[in-house]
């Protein structure tokens, strides 16, 4: 039996039973921590979903505001004496220039992305170390000494 019953003394258990009891307790602890993390993440996911819906609605409202202000700007240009087609063309050209500038800034930002260089390097180093460790073990079976892993 690998459980500690309420009236039972731990000192009476064998080493194997104590190890089994400890591993069972660790397993239960890990399982409980995972359940707690799942519950917390569910709550966070609900909050994130609600927040993203609010951002989407705000984005839609912002888009409508931009459209209405663009029309107002075009009619303001018409009031200054510019033809209707020219006023709306000017507003469209302003948006085209703004889009080109934003695309340029976005392109420059994308060029600066590293692609997790440090993570790739450390993973590569870890795999290399594991491969070398496996090779050393094979050599160790043939008579060579196996070096100890150090930090």
Residue 86 has pLDDT above 90, yes or no: yes
Backbone angles phi, psi at 18, to 5 degrees: -65, -40
Q: Which residue has the tokens 């994130």?
A: 48
Cβ atoms of 91 and 70 within 8 Å: the answer is: yes
pLDDT tens digits along 37-85: 888 888 888 999 999 999 999 999 999 999 999 999 999 999 999 999 9
State both tokens at 81.
Answer: 């004496």
Residue 149 has pLDDT above 60, yes or no: no
pLDDT tens digits along 69-78: 999 999 999 9
pLDDT tens digits along 109-132: 998 887 777 888 888 888 888 788
Q: Rounded CA gap, 116 and 93, in Å? A: 39
pLDDT tens digits along 27-36: 888 888 888 8
pLDDT of residue 96: 97
pLDDT of residue 84: 96
Q: What mean pLDDT, rounded, does the chain reach? A: 84
Per the confidence metrics, is the pTM higher than 0.85?
Answer: no
Burial class (CB in 10 A: 0-12, 13-18, 19+), 74: buried
Band (104; pLDDT cuts 50, 70, 90): very high
């Amino acid at each position: 039996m690998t459980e500690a019953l309420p009236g039972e003394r731990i000192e009476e258990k064998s080493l194997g039973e104590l190890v089994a009891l400890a591993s069972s307790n660790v397993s239960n602890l890990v399982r409980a921590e995972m359940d707690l993390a799942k519950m917390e993440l569910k709550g966070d996911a609900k909050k994130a979903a609600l927040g993203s819906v609010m951002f989407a609605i705000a984005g839609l409202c912002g888009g409508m505001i931009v459209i209405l202000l663009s029309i107002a700007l075009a009619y303001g240009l018409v009031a200054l004496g510019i033809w209707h087609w020219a006023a709306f063309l000017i507003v469209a050209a302003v948006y085209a220039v703004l889009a080109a500038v934003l695309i340029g800034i976005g392109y420059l930002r994308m060029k600066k992305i590293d692609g997790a260089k440090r993570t790739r390097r450390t993973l590569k180093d870890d795999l290399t170390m594991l491969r070398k460790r496996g090779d050393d073990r094979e050599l160790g079976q043939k008579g060579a000494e196996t070096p100890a892993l150090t930090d």
